[in-house]
Amino acid sequence: MKEQFPLRVIIDEAGKLVDEKYKEYVTEEQVKHFYYHMMRLRTYDKKGVALQRQGRIGTYVPFYGQEASQVGSALALGEDDFMFPTYRDHGATLTFGADMDRLLLHWNGRVEGCVPSLTKKIFPAAIPIATQLPHATGAAMAEQYKGTKNATIAYFGDGATSEGDFHEGINIASVFKAPVVFFNQNNGYAISVPIEKQMNSETVAQKAVAYGIPGVRVDGMDVFSVYIAVQEALERARNGGGPTLIEAVTIRFGPHTTADDPTKYRNQESINDVKEEKDPILRLERFMKNNGLWDETWVEKIEAEIEEELNDAIDRMEAYEKADPAHMFDYVFEEMPWTIEEQKKMLLGGGA
């Protein structure tokens, strides 16, 4: 099935343009735009891990290695489109316009962090696996009924393809030709479960055949491949073509979360050995150097701007009072059941 769903590559690991038909997309402006956003995410991600190690935020979910997938997909969206992220897609939400302060508050346990943006249509990060896919389909169908050209994108990992919500969401979207893009980041592991124990299919993209929708497989470390595939899928969705399933083949360089030790279930040395070769940011950097677009002064300037933006956001996050654990009970039910009341009392030291 890999022959039927070949891996689309536009800029290869050596930083060379390998598909000339997309040459018009690869402009200096676009290359620098992508590079800036990936550097912004890389800096944010490194800082997130450091903050957790310092005890300044709670458990953090790194996306190191998946910047091209998240930047390319998010920048393809229109201003009024919907985004349905997982817990690892804060890079995509940040690129799409989520508030950096709120994302940091999310990792710090504040209720304000549950709403990524007050202006963009970004749903809260889905912690349960695949539950956001039917929601994305529903939002897409609502836009369809209203007669808009807005579309939705739903993010999910390879492990989500084993969940019923994955099949239900795609099936309903297919039947009603909902304007939704199902964007899979296949990083090879669902926490500790490798892809070969997750499914017997050669690819995620081929699962589209069962639902009668297009399936596309792209190099998730190539920001241009991702961007163009999502842009094409969104265009199709807006014009009545229905959903598309995109598989972005990527690598999770680090742990599942800061509470995870990947050396327990995979050869981490083999991952470290290919980091430089596979790194999506270095790939774009090589392309820039190969084509005379590399500007050290500009890079230093954006690095300083990103660092300043992030440090300011951290200062604002830390100016908030410490999160109140009791809030976790307050915003689930309209009327709190007695069982939840008892749990809250126990947490506050009042007994059952």
Query: Which residues have a Cβ under 8 Å from the Cβ of 130 and sit 6 or more positions away?
Result: 156, 160, 163, 164, 165, 166, 169
Count Cβ atoms below 10 Å from residue 67 Cβ, excluding itself.
Answer: 29
Which of these, 188, 151, 150, 162, lies nearest to 69 by C-alpha position?
A: 188
> What is the amino acid identity at position 32?
K
Q: What is the mean pLDDT of each run of 10 residues along the chain (352 residues)?
A: 91 95 94 98 98 96 98 98 98 97 95 92 96 98 98 97 97 98 97 95 97 98 98 98 98 96 94 95 98 97 98 97 88 90 88 54
- Residue 352: per-residue pLDDT: 52
Q: Report pLDDT for 5.
A: 95
Contact 133, 62 (CB under 8 A): no
197 φ, ψ (degrees, to nearest 5): -100, 0
How many Å is the maximal CA-CA distance in the chain?
Answer: 69
Catalytic residue among 252, 283, 320, 331: 252
Report the amino acid identity of residue 171: N
The pLDDT assigned to 62 comes to 97
8 Å CB contact between 238 and 151: yes
Distance, CA of 273 to CA of 197 (rounded, Å): 24
Residues 6+ apart with CB under 8 A from 303: 39, 43
Main-chain dihedrals φ then ψ at residue 161, nearest 5 degrees: -70, -10
The dihedral over CA atoms of 330, 335, 339, 345, expressed in degrees to the nearest 10, equals 40
Give the C-alpha distances (Å, rounded to integers) separating 309 from 91, 105, 112, 251.
15, 15, 19, 27
Our answer to whether residue 283 is catalytic in this structure is: no
| Residue 333: other Cβ atoms inside 10 A | 9
In the prediction, which pLDDT does 349 show?
83
Q: Which helix (H) or strand (E) holds 318?
A: helix 296-318
Q: What is the pLDDT of residues 264-276, one digit of tens each?
A: 999 999 999 999 9
Domain chopping of the chain, boundaries = 20-321, 326-352
3-state helix, strand, coil in the chain (%, to 5): 50, 10, 40
pLDDT tens for 13-66 read: 999 999 889 999 999 999 999 999 999 999 999 999 999 999 999 999 999 999
Dihedral (CA of 38, 43, 44, 48) sign: positive
Class of domain 20-321: alpha beta
Residue 249 near residue 204, CB atoms below 8 Å = no
Q: Which of 265, 286, 316, 327 is catalytic?
A: 265
Q: Output DSSP code: residue 212.
A: T
pLDDT reported for residue 326: 86
pTM (2 decimals)? 0.95
Q: Look up 265 and say whether it is catalytic.
A: yes
pLDDT for the residue numbered 331: 81
| Alpha-carbon span 352 to 345, nearest angstrom | 6
User: What is the C-alpha separation between 349 and 344, in angstroms, rounded?
Assistant: 9
Task: Reduce the secondary structure of 194-251 to three states and give it as a string.
Answer: EHHHCCCCCCCHHHHHHHCCCEEEEECCCHHHHHHHHHHHHHHHHCCCCCEEEEEECC
Token pair of 318, please? Answer: 């830390």
DSSP per-residue codes, 108-151: TT-GGGGSS-SSSEEPPPB-STTTHHHHHHHHHHHHHHHT----
The CA distance from 249 to 158, in Å, is 10
Tokens (6 digits) for 259: 């509470």
Q: Are 204 and 184 in contact (CB under 8 A)?
A: yes
- The catalytic residue among 42, 110, 256, 286 is 256
Query: Cα separation of 24 and 115, whole Å?
Result: 37
